[in-house]
Amino acid sequence: MEKSVHTSEYASLRAAVRRLRDDAGLSQRELATKLNVAPSWVAKVESGERRLDVVEFYWLISACRGDAAAIFSTLCGQFARRRRSDGAKGASSP
């Protein structure tokens, strides 16, 4: 199994985090201040250099005034569709 940070699913997670921060009108520095972390922490999460655990995901989404459960559910739906699509491609290969 490959490391999750190198998957298209993790890229989707990072994009969702970045989009939510942008939609909240927050810079990386402003979000870092809300989370009491260094601005580099936010940059590393968004670039995929630092892995985000589920608790940190919740804190980050909440700091952006987002609904972590709804965002997680949306991402899980995207992941499942991608897996089904990948499985269908593999099934049709000789």
In the chain the first and final C-alpha atoms are separated, in Å, by: 23
The CATH number, out of the four listed (1.10.260.40, 1.10.357.10, 3.90.950.20, 3.40.640.10), of the domain defined by the range 4-89: 1.10.260.40
Maximal CA-CA distance, the chain? 53
24 phi, psi to nearest 5 deg: -80, -5
Per-residue pLDDT reduced to its tens digit, 27-49: 999 999 999 999 999 999 999 99
Residue 88: its pLDDT value, please? 60
Rounded Cα distance between 82 and 53, Å, is: 21
Q: Which residue, chain included where needed, has tokens 């897996």?
A: 83
Q: What share of the chain has pLDDT > 90, as a percent?
A: 74
